[in-house]
Amino acid sequence: MAGRNSWTFPGSGILGGVALGSGIPRPDDPNAEYETLWAQSLREAIEKRPGGDTDRLAALAEQVRGGAIHTGPVDPIANSIWQGIEYLRKPAPPQMPQERTIGPGPYMAPLPRESGGPRIAKAIIDHYADYFDPWAKDELGRHVVETPAFTTPNAAGKTPLAEKPWWWPIVGGIDIGSNFAGPGAGVKAATVGGRAAFAASKAAAAEAVPTGKLLNAIREGQLAKLAGEGTTSGGAPSSAASAMGEYHVLGGADGSIFRNGGQNPSNLIARPKDNGVLSFRDSLSNPYPLPPGQRPVLIPGEKYREFDSSKLPPGSVIRDNNPPGHVGVRGVSLEDLINAITGKGTFPR
Amino acid sequence: MISSTDNGADSAAQAVIVLFASISDSMSDIGKILSSKPAIAKVMPGFDVSRFPGGEWAMPDCFSFEAYVEAETTTGDVFWWSFDLSLQSEKWTLSRDIDRQGKYGQESISDFDSMTYESFSALRDGYAPLMSEFVRSAESFTFPS
C-alpha cells in the first residue's frame, strides 16, 4: 500500500504503479522498495520538474513536517494552507467499474446495425442511385426519360417527373427534390419497378411493419395533402384519403403490385367502365380508416395475386398513385399478365 | 413402358388425378346449371395449375389447382364460381368463392369458409360434401337483373 503522503496511479497504463511521494522518500517507506527501476526514474523526473504541482506539494509538506507551518486551528492562515495540502493529497476519484457483476444490466439503446434503419437506408440509397441516373434505360434500350410513360401526364395532370418516391418523407423536411430534375420515380414508373435495389428493401419492409405503416401513412396522407390533388378516378375524394393512414402488411417498396382474386380471365380484364385500365395496389395494404361507404381495396380474408410489374411491357404500368397506392396497367395481354404473376395469398383479416 | 416400384406413390398420384377429375366434373355441372338460367348469356369454364415459388421470402413453394366457371349475364356483368386447391408446407387448403368483377379485382359475394387439411387423405375425405354445397349454390343463385 502507498503511504499516507503518497499515492499510486492505478491500472496498468503508462503511469500505472508509479508512486508519487510528498517529499523525499523515507528509509521506512515501503514503496521505495517495490518501485521498479523504470517507475523510480519516472517518479524522479516528475518530482524534479520545476514549478509543477508535485514540486509545490513536496515543498509544502516539508515545511509542515519542519514546523514552519502550524497546523492547529489557532492560525487560520496556516490552517487554510494545510487544508489545501490535504485537498491536493486526495487520491483521484475511483474509476467506474467496467463490468456489472450484480443485478440486471442497464438499458442500452439498440445500435443502428441492430435495427431495420440501415436496411431502409440502403433501400433509399439504392433508389437514390437510380434517381441520380438520368440515362437509365428500359428493357427496350430506350432512355427512360424519353419514354411515353415518363412524359405522359397522369390523371392528376402530373408526369412522373413531378412525383416523389415513397421514401421521400424519410429524407426530412427539406424538399431536396426541388433541386433536381429527377427521373427516379419515372424509372420506377416506366418499367423497372422490380429491380434488385428494391428487392432488397422488401425484407426490410417485412421486418419493420410499424415503420412501413408510418411511412405509408405519411406517404399517402401528407404528401397527397401537400400536393393538393383533386378527386380520384374512382370517385372517392383524395382529400378523404389524405386524412388517412394505411393498414400496411407488406410491400410498397419494390416492383410488386397486388390485385384481388385469382387468375381467371375475367378477373384480369378491365371492366368497361374502367376505360381499359386494370387497377392494382402498390403494396399489400389498405387505407385506414376507410372513408364512409368504401370497402377495403384488398379484401381481408380473400385471396389475391402478386404481380411483378417489371415483367409487364414497357409503358404499360402507370404508377399514378391516384388514389394513393393505385397502380394502373393497360394494354397488356392476358398471357402477359398471367406470366407476371409471382405469388398468391390471402389478405389477413 | 415405364414401371414403378413404389405402389404407394402410384396410388397417391392416382388419387390426386381422380380428385382433379371429380372437381372438373362438378365444375362442369355448375356450368350446365348456369347455362340453363335465362339471365346468363355465356358460360366459360377453365382451370389453372400453377406453382408459385417461395422466392425471397424463403417460403415453401405453393402449388395451386384452380377451377372456375365464368358466367356473363345478358346485361354484361360477369360472375364466376371458383374452386381452389392449394398445397403448401404439406398442407392442403380448399377454398370456394362466388365472385364478380370489381375495380381492384374480384369481389366475393359468398361466405364459404376456407378449409385446411393436414394430409391429402383428409382432403379427399372432406371434399365431397363441400363440393356438393358449391354446386347447390349455383342452383340457388339469383342473378341481379
From first to last of the 349 residues of chain A, give the pLDDT tens digit.
444 444 544 544 444 444 454 445 555 555 555 566 766 776 776 666 555 555 555 555 555 555 555 555 556 677 777 777 777 777 766 666 555 555 555 555 555 555 555 566 666 655 555 444 555 666 677 766 666 666 666 655 555 554 555 555 454 444 343 333 333 333 332 223 333 333 333 433 333 333 344 444 444 444 333 333 332 333 333 333 333 454 445 444 468 999 999 999 999 999 988 999 999 999 888 877 777 888 888 888 889 999 999 999 999 999 988 888 899 999 999 999 999 999 888 888 7
pLDDT value of position B33? 97
Which residues in chain A have their CB less than 8 angstroms from residue B78's CB?
Answer: 266
Minimum distance, in Å, between the CA of residue A127 and any CA atom of chain B? 19
pLDDT value of position B4? 54
pLDDT value of position B111? 86
Place of cell 421486418: A207
Tell if the CB–CB gap between B44 and A341 is shorter than 8 Å. no
Nearest C-alpha in A relative to B66: A262
Whether A341 and chain B come into contact, CB under 8 Å, resolves to: yes
ipTM for the predicted complex: 0.90
Minimum distance, in Å, between the CA of residue A268 and any CA atom of chain B? 7
Portion 158-217 of A in contact with B at CB < 8 A: 199, 202-203, 206
pLDDT value of position B127? 93
Which residues in chain B have their CB less than 8 angstroms from residue A280's CB?
Answer: 104
Going by C-alpha positions, the residue among A215, A199, A194, A201 that lies closest to residue A116 is A201
Whether B83 and chain A come into contact, CB under 8 Å, resolves to: no
DSSP chain B: ----S-HHHHHHHHHHHHHHHHHHHHHHHHHHHHHTSTTEEEEEEEEEEEEE--GGGTPPPEEEEEEEEEEEETTS-EEEEEEEEEEETTEEEEEEEEEE--TTB-EE---PPPEEESSHHHHHHHHHHHHHHHHHHHHH-----
pLDDT mean across residues, chain B: 91
What does the angle CA B82 – CA A347 – CA B107 come to, to the nearest 5 degrees? Answer: 45
**Backbone phi and psi for residue A255, each to the nearest 5 degrees, phi listed first:** -90, 5
pLDDT value of position A235? 31
Is B109 a residue whose pLDDT tops 50?
A: yes
* A183: number of Cβ within 10 Å: 23
Portion 22-51 of A in contact with B at CB < 8 A: none
**CA of residue A139 relative to chain centroid, distance:** 33
Tell if the CB–CB gap between B80 and A266 is shorter than 8 Å. yes
Q: Are A153 and A282 in contact (CB under 8 A)?
A: no
Q: Which residues contact A118 (CB under 8 A, 6 or more apart)?
A: A112
* pLDDT band with cut points at 50, 70 and 90 for residue B83: very high
pLDDT value of position A184? 34
Minimum distance, in Å, between the CA of residue B103 and any CA atom of chain A? 6
pLDDT value of position A213? 42
Tell if the CB–CB gap between A341 and B95 is shorter than 8 Å. no
Tell if the CB–CB gap between B52 and A265 is shorter than 8 Å. no
Whether B65 and chain A come into contact, CB under 8 Å, resolves to: no
pLDDT value of position A173? 43
Tell if the CB–CB gap between B82 and A274 is shorter than 8 Å. no
Tell if the CB–CB gap between B99 and A261 is shorter than 8 Å. yes
* B61: number of Cβ within 10 Å: 12
pLDDT value of position A114? 53
Under 8 Å CB pairs connecting chains A and B tally to 83
Tell if the CB–CB gap between B52 and A342 is shorter than 8 Å. yes
Tell if the CB–CB gap between B82 and A264 is shorter than 8 Å. yes
Kindly state the DSSP code that residue A221 receives in the 8-state scheme.
I
Minimum distance, in Å, between the CA of residue A141 and any CA atom of chain B? 27
Among B44, B64, B108, select the one facing A299 at the smallest CB separation. Answer: B108
Minimum distance, in Å, between the CA of residue A126 and any CA atom of chain B? 18
Tell if the CB–CB gap between A343 and B62 is shorter than 8 Å. yes
Mean pLDDT of B129-139: 96
Whether B46 and chain A come into contact, CB under 8 Å, resolves to: yes
Tell if the CB–CB gap between A264 and B62 is shorter than 8 Å. no
Which residues in chain A have their CB less than 8 angstroms from residue B97's CB?
Answer: 302-303
* pLDDT band with cut points at 50, 70 and 90 for residue B45: very high
pLDDT value of position B40? 96
A25 or B52: whose pLDDT is higher? B52
Portion 260-299 of A in contact with B at CB < 8 A: 260-267, 271-272, 274, 279-281, 295, 297-299
CA-CA-CA-CA dihedral for A117, A119, A123, A128, to nearest 10: 60
